[in-house]
Each structure stands twice: as structure tokens, then as C-alpha cells.
Structure 1
Amino acid sequence: MEVKTETVDSYLNQLSEERKALIQKLRICIKENLPEGFEETISYGMIGYVVPLSVYKDGYHCKKNEPLPFISLASQKNFIALYHMGIYANPALLGWFTINYPKHSKTKLDMGKSCMRFKKPEDIPYALIAELVAKITVQEWIATYETAFKPKN
């Protein structure tokens, strides 16, 4: 379910009340724990937390004039999605998350390379997500990104 919008408020206003409440709760969890320097925006049709171009002028290698993505939050048709590029780029962080997930949720982790899918509100491990979000600073993310993804010239 792609939401067409240019602002976070507009994104939220297009959701059902139930979905809006869930996204808002996750958004608060992220914003309260995200290290300083990331910026909230709309990125790829989702709520995104990015390294702004003012901090990392090289931008995202896929789209040079766009900020470096880090975390995205979306309401999809059948689930809430949380995308975390740090998990995709850092095997140790992925290991930490997958080991700790069962301590916070009774359901099996439904995850792709960077996407966690939550089909039921009670399955969202807010405390674990708060810990995950706080683990990487802007500078650490830039260094990880440059090592894992940035094309070598």
C-alpha cells in the first residue's frame, strides 16, 4: 500500500485510525531513541529517517541528490514494515537482533534483508526496536554504509 505524500503529517492522515495509532507509536519509539543527526522525512513513499545532505553531501549512491536512508516506517496492505539499513549492512547487528527478538515477541521473526514485517499490533517489540534504533550513530552509519555499499571509484 503505497501512500502518495510529501509530508509525514499527510502520510499519517491517509491511514486508518488503527494503522495511524500503530505508526505513531512506532514513530515515537524511533524518535525518542534515534541518535542525534538523523532527520525525519518522507523517503520512497514512507516515513524515513535519513542522514541529511548537509551532514553527508555524497548522498545515497543509488540517487546522488537524495539523503542517505537509514530507517523507514510504512503501513503496507497486510502489515506494518520497519526497514533498518544497519541490519542489512552489519551482520553482527543482524545477529544481535535475531538472537534478542524471541525475548520480546512470541511470534517468529518475519524479516527480509532489511525489512521487518509485523502483522499484528501485539507482535511489535517496541523495547527491542528502541534498543536497535539507538545502536548506530550518524557517523557509524556513514562509515558502515561506505564500507558495505558505496561503490569504489
Structure 2
Amino acid sequence: MYSEAKTPEDYLEGIADKQKDAVVKLRDIVLENLPAGFEEKMSYGMIGYVVPKSIYPEGYKANPNEPLPFAAIAAQKNHIALYHMGVYMFPEVLEWFESEYDKNVKTKLDMGKSCIRFKNPKTIPYDLIGKLFKKITAEQYIDEYKRSIDK
């Protein structure tokens, strides 16, 4: 759900109790594993992870005033969502993630193009999410992003 929160901490304050612990833990895992060159900020009403304009001044093509989005965490009405552009832009990362998820998690993967949905907070594979965030550096992401918009 879209939030008017100005900071990630404010966002967390507004989350329903049934999701709060899981979102806090998910955020902690992301922050522990987020490669250099990305930073956390509120983005599109969610806790976002972006390439700041100090590193990639061109910003996001759809809105050049905004930094380049990479990932986000959102507490939705019926699930917790992790949006990760790396699984969308890097087929080998998607393949790795799907394979590791199947090996390590008993529930079926619920996923869109870049959205991973967790309906039961108890089934979030935090260690796997940490490994996912370590897979792509900011430099790799910027390079792939540039290639994708030049097509």
C-alpha cells in the first residue's frame, strides 16, 4: 500500500502489527547485504533502495528527477512485497533465485516480473534474500540499466 511516510522509520510505524516484525527483519537483512553504491530512501511510497544521483546523475528515465530505483519493500494489504529489479534484468540471477528458493523454502514461490510476494511472514527466506542483494553491484546494475534503455 502506498504510504505518505517521509522516512523508512515512519513507514515502519504505520505498518500493521501482523506484518511489522517481518518487514523490520527484512529491512535489516537488506541493509546488512546492500552493496556499496545503493542507498535507502522512501521511494514511490515504499522503503526503496536506489542508486543515488551522486553516483548516477541521469536518474530514472521515467522520471529523471528521481534516483535510479533498484529494490523496494512494501507491506501490502495481503502480503509483504519485495520488489527487486535484479531478478527482472538479470536472467541468471532470476534462475539462481528460483532454484535456491525451491531448494530452501517449503512454500511455492509467488512472484511477478520483479515482485516477490510473501503471504505468510513466517516463510520469508531472510538468508536467501540477503544473498540475492549481494548478487548485483551498483556498477553492474547501472551498466545493465543503460543497456536496457539504449535498446
The offset of 1:119, in angstroms, is 0.3
Q: Structure 1 CA distance, aligned partners of 2:137 and 2:116?
A: 21
After the TM superposition, list the runs of 4 or more consecutive aligned residues in structure 1 that deviate by more than 4 angstroms.
none
Q: Which amino acid aligns with 2:87?
A: I
Give the structure-1-normalised TM-score. Answer: 0.95
Within 2, Cα distance between the matches of 1:55 and 1:42? Answer: 18
Partner of 2:120: 120
Return the offset for 1:105. 0.9
Matched residue, 1:27: 27
Q: Is the 8 A contact 1:59 1:68 kept in 2?
A: yes
What number of residue pairs does the alignment pair up? 151
Question: What is the Cα deviation at residue 151 of structure 1?
Answer: 4.1
Note if contact 1:5-1:45 (Cα within 8 Å) is conserved in structure 2.
yes
Over the matched positions of the two proteins, sequence identity in percent amounts to 53
Kept after mapping to 1: 8 A contact 2:2/2:44: no
Paired amino acid for 2:78: N
> Structure 1 CA distance, aligned partners of 2:19 and 2:117?
14
- 1:130 paired to 2:130: yes
CA contact 1:88–1:114 (8 Å) conserved in 2? yes
Specify the code of the residue in structure 2 equivalent to 1:71: A
Equivalence for 1:46: 46
Provide the residue aligned with 2:66 in structure 1: 66
Q: State the shift of 1:37 in Å.
A: 1.6
Question: Which runs of no fewer than 5 residues in structure 1 stay unpaired?
Answer: none
The question of whether the paired residues in 1 share the 8 Å contact of 2:71 and 2:82 is answered with yes
Distance 1:12 1:151 in 2: 37
> Match of 1:62, SS?
coil
CA deviation map 1:114-149 (0-9, x unaligned) = 00000001221111111000111110110111112x
2:81: which partner in 1? 81
Q: 1:102, CA displacement in angstroms?
A: 1.2
In the alignment, residue 48 of structure 1 is paired with which amino acid?
Answer: G
What does residue 145 of structure 2 align with? 145
| 2:101 maps to amino acid | Y
Q: Distance in 2 between matches of 1:7 and 1:28?
A: 15
CA distance in 2, matches of 1:15, 1:121: 13
Instruction: Give the secondary structure class of the aligned counterpart of 1:129.
Output: helix
